[in-house]
Amino acid sequence: MRGKDLLRELQRTVDELAVLNEIGKALTSSLDITEVMHVILAKVSELLKPRNWSLLLKDEKTGELFFQTAVGAGSEKLLGLRIRPGEGIAGWVAEHNAPLLVPNVHKDPRFAGRFDKASRFHTQSILCVPLAFKGRMLGVIELVNGQGDGTFSEEDLRILSTVAEFSAIAIENARNYHKVEELTVLDDHTGLFNSRHLKRQLEQEVVRATRFGHPVSLIFFDLDHFKLVNDSHGHQAGSRVLHEVGRLLLRTLRSTDVPVRYGGDEFVILLPETSKDQAIEAARRIGGEIAREPFLAEQSVGPIKLTASMGVASFPDDARSPDDLIRRADEAMYRVKADSRGGVLAALPQEPRNVSLTAGVSSEQP
């Protein structure tokens, strides 16, 4: 090996060790999956220099992969999109629990071109590795288009596979921590998160959105004429309806979304890394699910049909603080109720103001 080549290899080894050292620090600094993975993959990007990269996690309910994090040209249009089991390069890697280097995706029949259409990005090569812990699939890391000629090497694959092993441990530790934590932050009636959890989670998401430059959105809704259910059928029937609304949200939302019973028949849905337009579409979809649901269908008083009035707001476009984001979505919801009920409205435009990360979230729920 010539001197220049040896020096290049030594420098790459030093860079790789530095990245692994930073990953080790990230693993011990936070139990937040998104924050840890942002740090890890930012360091990987410095070393392998892909044009785009994504973290896709597995939805344990459906088996689908969804874009938890995406960075690069057009990546914001990928957030929240889902990949069917076995679909595309990422789906194949998750299904077979095996890493894959594809130098030219257009010669590989496994490539799913619909995501290029969604992001308007031109994929040439893909490096994709599984995230697995004790044989259980958690997701995949995917790098797109390497530097120079756009391809990746077997050495790149080895490095990313090593990083994936660390990342899987981080994700599993974070999930186990949150499973224990959820026991103290859940609402008894609905199984959704309570307002205490919303306060902490929303403050974290606003800080993260400011740091990484992506939006965070929020849906605030209540059930139209819910008082009539209590008055006509009793509070026990009303409590059962709230429970069924909670179940509906849990089966409808992405695993990254945060559904909250805010108080009474008021609900909040926190949507990390979600634009206002995406949140409006989500609100319309959820509102449609509620309108179609036959509540109390198995009870003598059922089925009962309900609608929901929904307000949407997004940080930083509509709000300057976590508390402000709640208020703007709440205002939009009351505009719906004052109009015709059973619809969706977004927060009205406002003058830009300085962002505050210290204001909290308030709720009247005891």
For residue 131, being part of any structural domain is answered with yes
What is the Cα 118 distance to its own chain's centre? 18
Query: Which tokens in the block code for residue 158?
Result: 């080895």
Provide the residue range defining the domain that includes 153: 3-182
> Is the domain of 277 the same as that of 325?
yes
Tell which of 149, 182, 215 closes a domain. 182
> Is the domain of 19 the same as that of 156?
yes
What interhelical angle do 3-29 and 154-182 show, nearest 10? Answer: 0
Tell which of 139, 158, 182 closes a domain. 182
CB burial readout 118-144, b (16+ within 10 A) else e: ebebebbbbbbbbbbbeeebbbbbbbb
Cα separation, 169 vs 162, whole angstroms: 12
> Is the domain of 173 the same as that of 206?
no
Residue 59: other Cβ atoms inside 10 A: 16
pLDDT at 167: 81
**Per-residue model confidence as pLDDT tens for the chain (366 residues):** 566 767 777 776 777 777 777 777 766 666 676 777 777 778 788 888 899 989 899 998 889 999 988 888 888 888 878 999 999 999 999 999 999 999 999 999 999 989 898 888 899 999 999 999 888 899 999 999 988 778 899 989 998 998 888 888 877 877 777 666 666 788 888 999 999 889 989 999 999 999 889 999 999 999 999 999 989 888 889 999 999 999 999 999 988 899 999 999 999 999 999 999 999 999 999 999 999 999 988 777 778 999 999 999 999 999 999 999 999 999 999 999 998 888 999 998 775 444 443 333 333 333
pTM (2 decimals)? 0.51
pLDDT at 362: 36
By three-state DSSP, how is residue 10 classified? helix
> Is the domain of 172 the same as that of 251?
no
Strands 308-315 and 344-346: parallel
> Is the domain of 150 the same as that of 222?
no
Q: Could you give the number of structural domains in the chain?
A: 2
The CATH number given to whatever domain includes residue 113 is: 3.30.450.40
Tell which of 182, 214, 238 closes a domain. 182
For residue 363, being part of any structural domain is answered with no
The CATH number given to whatever domain includes residue 288 is: 3.30.70.270
For residue 106, being part of any structural domain is answered with yes
